[in-house]
Amino acid sequence: MSDIFAEVEEDLRAERVKKLFQRYGGAMVAAAVLVVLGTAGWQGWNWYQARQTARAATAYLGVIQVLDGPAGADRKATIPALEKVIAEGGAGYRSLARLHLAALRFDTGDKAAALALWDQVAADGGADPVLRDSARLQWALHQIDDGDPAQVQAHLQPLTAPENPMHALAQEAQALLALRQGNKDAARDIFKQLAQDVTAPQGVRGRANGLLAQLGE
């Protein structure tokens, strides 16, 4: 008897499946196709992204080899490659390429373009915080001599927090800006602080002591 009940139950399940398929079969097939296409699309996108990242990495490393090469190397020739990395690379490579391109633009006399590139990195929420801070610092250092003091200070101020790894360099820039404005007392105070800051790089501490000697301390 148990075999008969089992067969009946199996037939009922089969009949229910048949009715469900008749009623929803088209939708089920469509859903299955969408799942397959979605998976394939996701894998394709990942492949494309990996390919683009690999291309950006190769282009960027080629640029670095030139920039780190002999002094007579044609650094301007790397500009198209850097622009390509900026256009096609991932967030990290884009930021690094912008920083290098900014330095090249400045060296070739295009100061406005250089400052704009540094500001782009500084404002990029997807960039690494260290790269963003480096861009702010570079912008300020290249404006110390003739830039708007208020704007220079605005770029430096976020970097002066003690926990920021660039705080000593930012404070040094603030002291140089103070000297440019004729405020020797403010500059002297900052240099004293830097000379005693054991967390500051040795070069910063050495320059601070040297400038204090020139200021009569």
DSSP assignment of the chain, as one string?
A: -HHHHHHHHHHHHHHHHHHHHHHHHHHHHHHHHHHHHHHHHHHHHHHHHHHHHHHHHHHHHHHHHHHTS-TTS-GGGGHHHHHHHHHHS-HHHHHHHHHHHHHHHHHTT-HHHHHHHHHHHHT-TTS-HHHHHHHHHHHHHTTTTTS-HHHHHHHHGGG-STTSTTHHHHHHHHHHHHHHTT-HHHHHHHHHHHHT-TTS-HHHHHHHHHHHHHTT-
Note whether residue 192 is domain-resident. Answer: yes
Read off the pLDDT of each residue in 4-8 and give the average, rounded to a whole number. Answer: 43
Read off the pLDDT of each residue in 35-39 and give the average, rounded to a whole number. Answer: 47
Tokens found for residue 95: 């930021």
Read off the pLDDT of each residue in 128-148 and give the average, rounded to a whole number. Answer: 92
Most confident of 93-97, 99-103, 141-145: 141-145
Note whether residue 179 is domain-resident. Answer: yes
Confidence at residue 25, expressed as pLDDT on a 0 to 100 scale: 52
Torsional class of 94: left (φ above 0), alpha (ψ -120 to 50), beta (otherwise): alpha
Note whether residue 91 is domain-resident. Answer: no
Note whether residue 11 is domain-resident. Answer: no
Burial 18-34 (b: 16+ CB within 10 A, else e): eeeeeeeeeeeeeeeee
Confidence at residue 15, expressed as pLDDT on a 0 to 100 scale: 57
Q: With a cut of 70, say whether residue 7 has pLDDT above it.
A: no
Note whether residue 56 is domain-resident. Answer: no
Domain with 191 in it: 143-217
Average pLDDT taken over every residue of the chain: 75
Note whether residue 160 is domain-resident. Answer: yes
Confidence at residue 61, expressed as pLDDT on a 0 to 100 scale: 54
Note whether residue 54 is domain-resident. Answer: no
Q: With a cut of 50, say whether residue 137 has pLDDT above it.
A: yes
Give the confidence band of 173 by pLDDT, cuts at 50, 70, 90.
very high
Note whether residue 128 is domain-resident. Answer: no
Confidence at residue 78, expressed as pLDDT on a 0 to 100 scale: 73
If one compares 111 and 94, the residue with the highest pLDDT of the two is: 111
Give the confidence band of 120 by pLDDT, cuts at 50, 70, 90.
very high
Q: What CA–CA distance (Å, rounded) separates 137 from 160?
A: 11
Read off the pLDDT of each residue in 29-44 and give the average, rounded to a whole number. Answer: 46
Give the confidence band of 14 by pLDDT, cuts at 50, 70, 90.
low
Q: With a cut of 60, say whether residue 144 has pLDDT above it.
A: yes
Amino acid at 27: A
Read off the pLDDT of each residue in 155-174 and give the average, rounded to a whole number. Answer: 93
CA distances from 96 to 21, 24, 53, 120 (A): 56, 53, 13, 11
Per the structure, how many domains does the chain have? 1
